[in-house]
Structure 1
């Protein structure tokens, strides 16, 4: 009997404690909820008061600053009517850019490219680039050239296309491009004109690379951009040429890989080649091969390239031309002022006794605003093939990209 009473007492005590705990928790919840409602009411009151009071000048400073920066980027003075360019089609994105390279040259002929060229000022390149893209993963690029676009002098500048392409870009590992564009042969040739370290490319690259052609290409990169490829089929008879000299095509391809990287430092290797059967200036087959290396380590940049082109002629003796260049750059003011040294060597015919040109290029690049505003100064000291002695030429260039 006594045990039963104790059990009933314990049960009643437990239930009482449970009801008491529940009541306390509920009260605490009610207090917490009431506090939250009170805080929200205070915040709403402050917002309402803020809306009724005028903004102070200090409050408007960030907005005014952003407005001024935006109008400056648009080139609007805030007074005249704002001109807006609107795409006529249904492009998802449309961009307009370009660049200008104007230079002065003084001196002799360090290699055969400058034979007969005196001191001069030159509109080296004047290009406008129009790019657009559609939601369906189709892009287009139109880049006309209005400048000289060659080392040799041109009388009567006229517009002609540098690049004119349509591309399908659905997959990063498989982009299809058709039109006129750079062939995948020669690393230095593939670099954008605004990003080369010297005023002019090396003589071996200029003479052995096949430049822009009209054709179709397939290119892509694997994840993390550590490996890339590019292959193409082209007419093989030059730029801005709507004909083909025969029913044959030129085939070109390139493989490139970043074999090591750490932050901004990297080491990359590339191999490329092309083959073409021609009936123009050369009747026969041309075959080109090349290897290249690029390295960045701290303030140092290095580029090395070797190229070789063999001419298998239907009539006459076969010939082989080869050459290479090695460039070292060092930023003695980080990201601003860079010193450049390049050595180059070119043999127009490996079997000929006096067909070798060699030269050094010493230069300084001043990156006023990266590659968008850049000043380049070069001194090219060369020993051209033939009886000419060592010749020197000074170059200065101002570049603006937009």
Structure 2
């Protein structure tokens, strides 16, 4: 067996009316920032805030009545879990999802709210998958793999049909890669519609499983990536066989690139992306010159990010841009010293966010004190102006 364009077209008919045809829109603001013509597929607007509904529903819709009665099992870090739970409940099919330890609370809670039973087991997706398959065999149920399944791939491929219906002359599709189900389905559809289009995968540096297998490299995947939705140690056998001949290239990006992508979607596009969903934009930010003059389609594949993590990412981006700067000042432990520093910062238009006053640092004189003053600035130039003004006070200054 393999996957054909007819399979993807059949999936599109099967899920029509039950899965949202999300907007695929030109982003004037992101295009202006990156100098690349960018179109974004907003799969974060799905009911479960992710594309995984497509493949899950296509699989469920083809189960027999007897299979539906037995129920379904799956392992997932979150988005496949929610998509399967939502549509299984809607169709009256019992669903049990095994999720790895450390899965963001927001994904666990949403999966439960969609009606599935959640079991937390395994330190990674692979361990969770093994446990889920054991439970499934014991229960005599149907296992719905999150990516290594032709019906699931076909459902995910419907994204490419919708994108190319809107913009037929796209030059490039940038597709997040974890297990490979999304890029396999999209590559089959995209190349059938437009053989000249380039399909490029994007992987997190901690989990470069597709690129490693393609290049016959023995790379160990692992680590706490912010893109947990694509944190898969080994690409699927079926997905790789389908995708590899069709995929033009795979780009591997760092965690800092992904953080920038998340922050850019929030600050510029005013939409929320999880780590996996921001990888396409992250690849453009890192390699803008490569895509100059081309029409590039991005898949914002999901928006299920823990709010605490999102807040941290946005603050870290402020630090990178030097819009949030900590000035460490060593001075006399005398009245008025902190007030003087505050006056200097205020005169330069800085906004003091936090102050830490430490008298017990051993490399500071007993009659001295160390101050960490966190300041909100306009940009790097403004931060430098404040730094220079503080240095002119005569006190020792160290930048954090």
Normalised-by-shorter TM-score class: under 0.3
What is the TM-score of this pair, normalised by structure 1? 0.21
Structure with the bigger RCO (C-alpha within 8 Å, sep 6+) is 2
Q: Under a length normalisation based on structure 2, what TM-score does the superposition of the two structures give?
A: 0.21
- Larger Rg computed on CA atoms: 1
Structure with a larger share of its residues in strand = 1
